[in-house]
């Protein structure tokens, strides 16, 4: 078994492009582009993140509306986000969801989102979970 | 000449180590942010070669490099409008997994298909 002890991985040919061989061995793909660039689990009742990666701070903008501010910025404002709303800790709203607030609210350094639930889409305290991919600056 | 390293484990200078299979298996194999309203168009993508518009709220994400099998994980998130939340209730799902493509669908409160102005699809699993 081999082990590398290092602080930084940098591409040799191109600093921002390290390729890894696929699980099946038929292809190679970029390591950097596959890595999640941020994630968070957010408790609106506090409000604060239970845990996060690449999040510097959170702003409470309005009822059910929050902005997550990134530590390291993205290269553009079109990075994809997988978002899920969870009724925990209330468990009283079975249908919950979170959305981008509007197109101008996703920037290279932050993302504002709305979260709602229940049958009428009202805002209430919930937990938000999010994985963020895309390219860093 | 490009450098190549074959290793089982990566360890940082502070002693935190991770097996390289976590890096390979844990990395997303595809992601895409696309406009699903009007003429469907990708905004940013990784290993998604194209998007096929199959109808209202019905899209097919085509992969560049194929997945190893059809048991990969997918996360679909959509935004109905760019002007707030009032009419934004929707359900976004995935189905019809193949090794080279997957369907992402979106529906409104009446359970009928609705085009999303922003659709995000994240794929985790194994590449062929």
Q: Could you read off the pLDDT of A10-31 as tens digits, one per residue? A: 888 888 889 999 999 999 999 9
Domain ranges of chain B: 28-124
Which residue has better confidence, A102 or A46?
A: A46
Nearest CA in chain B to A106: B82
- Name the band, by pLDDT with cuts 50, 70 and 90, for residue A3: confident
Can you say whether residue A22 is alpha, beta or left, with left for phi > 0 and alpha for psi between -120 and 50 degrees?
beta
Mean confidence (pLDDT) of chain A: 85
- Name the band, by pLDDT with cuts 50, 70 and 90, for residue B121: very high
The pLDDT value recorded for residue A10 is 87
CA nearest neighbour of B4 among A29, A12, A23: A12
Mean confidence (pLDDT) of chain B: 85
Angle at A74 between CA A69 and CA A79, to 5 degrees: 95
Give residue A105's domain range.
35-132
Strand partners, A60: A66
Domain tally for chain A? 1
Nearest CA in chain A to B110: A119
Residue A106 domain-assigned (yes or no):
yes
Which residue has better confidence, A93 or A82?
A: A82
- B11/A contact by beta carbon, under 8 A: yes
Chain B residue numbers touching A84 (CB-CB < 8 A): 75, 77
Q: Is the peptide bond before A9 cis (omega within 30 degrees of 0)?
A: no
Residue A17 domain-assigned (yes or no):
no
The pLDDT value recorded for residue B87 is 41
Model confidence pLDDT, tens digit, residues A51-89: 999 999 999 988 888 999 999 999 999 999 988 877 665
In this prediction, residues B7-23 reach a mean pLDDT of 81
CB neighbours of A105 closer than 8 A, spacing ≥ 6? A67, A111, A112, A113
B8 and A27: CB-CB below 8 Å?
no
In this prediction, residues B30-48 reach a mean pLDDT of 95
CA nearest neighbour of A22 among B54, B38, B115, B72: B72
Residue A18 domain-assigned (yes or no):
no
Nearest-Cα distance to chain A for B55, in Å, is 22
* Backbone dihedral angles phi then psi of residue A105, each to the nearest 5 degrees: -90, -5
Residue A96 domain-assigned (yes or no):
yes
Question: Dihedral, CA atoms, A92, B121, A44, B81, nearest 10 degrees?
Answer: -90
Can you say whether residue A64 is alpha, beta or left, with left for phi > 0 and alpha for psi between -120 and 50 degrees?
left
Burial class (CB in 10 A: 0-12, 13-18, 19+), A43: middle
Residues 40-59 in A contacting B (C-alpha not used; CB under 8 Å): none
Model confidence pLDDT, tens digit, residues A107-122: 999 998 887 766 556 6
The pLDDT value recorded for residue B86 is 40
pTM: 0.87
- B18/A contact by beta carbon, under 8 A: no
Model confidence pLDDT, tens digit, residues B59-99: 999 999 999 999 999 988 887 765 544 444 456 777 788 99
A34 and B118: CB-CB below 8 Å?
no
Is pLDDT at B34 greater than 90 in this prediction? Answer: yes
Is pLDDT at A95 greater than 60 in this prediction? Answer: no
Q: Which of B31-40, B41-50, B104-113 has the lowest mean pLDDT?
A: B104-113
Model confidence pLDDT, tens digit, residues A119-135: 556 677 778 889 999 99
């Amino acid at each position: 078994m081999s082990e590398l002890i290092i602080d930084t991985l940098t591409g040799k040919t191109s600093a921002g492009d390290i390729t890894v061989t696929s699980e099946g061995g038929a292809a190679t793909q970029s390591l950097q582009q596959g890595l999640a660039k941020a994630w968070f689990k957010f408790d609106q009742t506090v409000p604060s993140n239970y845990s996060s990666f690449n999040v510097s701070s959170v702003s409470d903008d309005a009822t059910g509306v929050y902005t997550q501010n990134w530590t390291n910025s993205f290269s553009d404002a079109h990075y994809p986000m997988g978002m899920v709303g969870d009724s925990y800790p209330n468990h009283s709203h079975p249908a919950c969801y979170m959305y981008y607030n509007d197109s101008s609210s996703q920037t290279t350094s932050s993302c504002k989102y709305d979260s709602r639930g229940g049958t009428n889409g009202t805002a209430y305290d919930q937990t938000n979970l999010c994985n963020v991919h895309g390219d860093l600056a | 000449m490009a450098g190549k390293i074959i290793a089982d484990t990566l360890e940082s200078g502070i002693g935190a180590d991770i097996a390289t299979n976590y890096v390979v298996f844990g990395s997303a194999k595809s992601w895409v942010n696309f406009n699903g309203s009007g003429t469907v168009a990708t905004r940013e993508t990784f290993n998604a070669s194209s998007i096929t518009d199959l109808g209202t709220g019905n899209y097919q994400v085509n992969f560049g490099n194929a997945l190893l099998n059809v048991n990969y994980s997918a996360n679909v998130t959509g935004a109905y409008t760019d002007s707030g939340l009032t009419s934004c209730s929707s359900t976004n799902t995935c189905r019809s997994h193949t090794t080279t493509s997957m369907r992402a669908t979106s529906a409104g409160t009446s359970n009928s298909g609705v085009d999303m102005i922003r659709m995000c699809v994240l794929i985790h699993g194994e590449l062929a």
